[in-house]
A and B are shown apart, each in its own frame.
Chain A
Amino acid sequence: MNPSILAVEIRDELYAIIRDPVAALFSIAMPVGMFAVFASLFGTEGNGPVSGATLMLATFGAFGVISVSLAPGIGIAEDRERGWLQVKRVSPVPVRTTLAAKVVASLPVAFGVYAAMSLTAFAMGLFDTDIGTWLQIAALLLLGSLPFALLSMAVGFVARGRSAPAIINAVFLPMAIAGGLWMPLEALPPFVQDLAVWLPTYHTSQLGLGLLTGESIVDNVAALLAATAVTAALAAIGYRSMRSK
Chain B
Amino acid sequence: MTEVVTIRGLDHRYGETHALRGVDLTVAAGECVALLGPNGAGKTTLVGALTGMLAPSAGTARIDGADPRRPATRRRLGVVHQSAGFPRTLTVHELVAGWAIRAGRRGSDADAILAEVGLLDLTKRRATELSGGQQQRLQLAMALVVDPTLLVLDEPTVGLDIDARRRFWATLAARRDRGTAVLLTTHQIEDAAAVADRVIVLHEGTVIATGSPADLTAQLPDRTVTARTALRGSELRALPDVLDVTVADGRMRATSARPEATVRALLAADPTLDDLRVEGATLEQAIVAMITQESQEVTA
Contacts and interface: CB of A to CB of B under 8 A. Distances in A.
A94 interface: yes
Nearest to A15: B89
Interface in A1-52: 2, 4-5, 8, 11-12, 15-16, 19-20
A81 to B, nearest CB: 8
A93 interface: yes
A91 B94 CA distance: 16
B90 A15 contact: yes
Given A12-B87, A15-B90, A90 B53 contact: yes
A87 interface: yes
B98 A86 contact: no
B120 interface: no
Contacts of A79: 85, 87
Given A90-B51, A92-B75, A92-B103, 10 more contacts: A12-B90, A20-B88, A20-B89, A82-B87, A83-B81, A83-B84, A87-B85, A90-B77, A91-B99, A92-B71
A8 B84 CA distance: 19
B101 A90 contact: no
A5 B101 contact: yes
Instruction: Give the interface size bracket for B toward A.
Output: 20 to 34
Contacts of A82: 85-87
A16 B89 contact: yes
B84 A84 contact: yes
A94 B71 contact: yes
Contacts of B84: 83-84, 87
Given A4-B101, A90-B52, A92-B102, A16 B87 contact: yes
A83 B87 CA distance: 9
A17 to B, nearest CB: 8
A113 B141 CA distance: 37
15 contacts: A5-B102, A11-B94, A12-B87, A12-B89, A15-B89, A83-B84, A84-B86, A86-B53, A86-B85, A87-B79, A87-B84, A92-B73, A93-B71, A93-B102, A94-B71
Interface string B57-70: 00000000000000
B261 interface: no
B90 to A, nearest CB: 6
Contacts of A83: 81, 83-85
B72 A86 contact: no
B74 interface: yes
Interface in B91-109: 94, 98-99, 101-104
Chain A residues touching B, majority SS: helix
A245 to B, nearest CB: 10
A19 B89 contact: yes
A89 interface: yes
B154 to A, nearest CB: 10
A8 B101 contact: yes
Contacts of B90: 12, 15
Contacts of B86: 82, 84
B94 A12 contact: yes
A15 B104 CA distance: 22
Contacts of A87: 79, 81, 84-85
A91 B88 contact: no
Contacts of B72: 92
B102 A84 contact: no
Contacts of B83: 83
A12 to B, nearest CB: 6
B85 A84 contact: yes
Nearest to B106: A4
User: When A and B form their complex, which 6 residue pairs have the shortest distance between CB atoms, in order from nearest?
Assistant: A83-B85, A82-B85, A19-B89, A90-B51, A92-B75, A92-B74
A45 B53 CA distance: 57
A63 to B, nearest CB: 25
Contacts of A91: 71, 74, 99, 102-103
A89 B53 contact: yes
Contacts of A4: 101
